[in-house]
Homo-oligomer: A and B are copies of this chain.
Amino acid sequence: MGTNGKQRERLRLEHFVPYRLSILTNTVSTAIAGAYARRFGLSIPEWRVIAVLGLDPGLSAADVAERTAMDKVAVSRAVSSLLRSRRVVRTRANGDRRRSELKLSRQGESVYWRVVPFARQYERELLADLSASERANLDQLLNRLHRRARALGPVRPG
């Protein structure tokens, strides 16, 4: 891929990694989002909140934001929608009345246990072509690229 310094060569978008990542993610996310919406009435942000609360009940909104890479506004909106649909319950932390403690309700747990197998199934099918070692490669590559992307950060103004 683009290692050599060939200059003045026109760029083929279809070989450009950031573009390809974007297309791939968009394809996957659209498929998943559609399925979650149709089958469970969940948006992706809502699903993310449910997913972390399923694993870690009692988190605050800020904790959820941190664990899901969502910003606090997105969390706030997802939570308020989940409160309306009674899938999440909120209590105020005693000792700090700003902080909320979020948990899945019984309904929320029930949705959780319907979505999780579905999500796993989708992932399984997405990765069906790959051997165990290819999956391990993918795993590593995603980690390293993400680490690198975070390090590069908000690209230096020039």
Residues of chain A at the chain B interface (Cβ within 8 Å)? 1-3, 7-8, 10-14, 16-32, 34-35, 38-39, 48, 51-52, 54-55, 67-69, 113, 116-117, 119-120, 122-130, 132, 134-135, 137-139, 141-142, 144-146, 148-150, 152-155, 157-158
A11 to B128, CA, bound (A): 19
What B residues does A123 contact at CB under 8 A? 1-2, 16-18
Q: Is A126's CB under 8 angstroms from B142's CB?
A: no
Q: Is A27's CB under 8 angstroms from B146's CB?
A: yes
Interchain CB contact (< 8 A) of A25 among B11, B25, B116, B120: B25
What B residues does A137 contact at CB under 8 A? 134, 137, 141
- 15 further A-B contacts with Cβ under 8 Å, apart from A3-B124, A11-B55, are A2-B127, A3-B127, A10-B55, A11-B116, A11-B120, A12-B55, A17-B142, A18-B119, A23-B146, A28-B149, A31-B154, A31-B155, A126-B148, A126-B152, A129-B148
Nearest CB in chain B: distance from A43 CB, A: 13
Q: Is A155's CB under 8 angstroms from B32's CB?
A: yes
What B residues does A23 contact at CB under 8 A? 69, 146
Q: Is A54's CB under 8 angstroms from B127's CB?
A: no
A129 to B146, CA, bound (A): 11
What B residues does A51 contact at CB under 8 A? 11, 13
Q: Is A153's CB under 8 angstroms from B13's CB?
A: no
What B residues does A35 contact at CB under 8 A? 154-155, 157
Q: Is A138's CB under 8 angstroms from B135's CB?
A: no
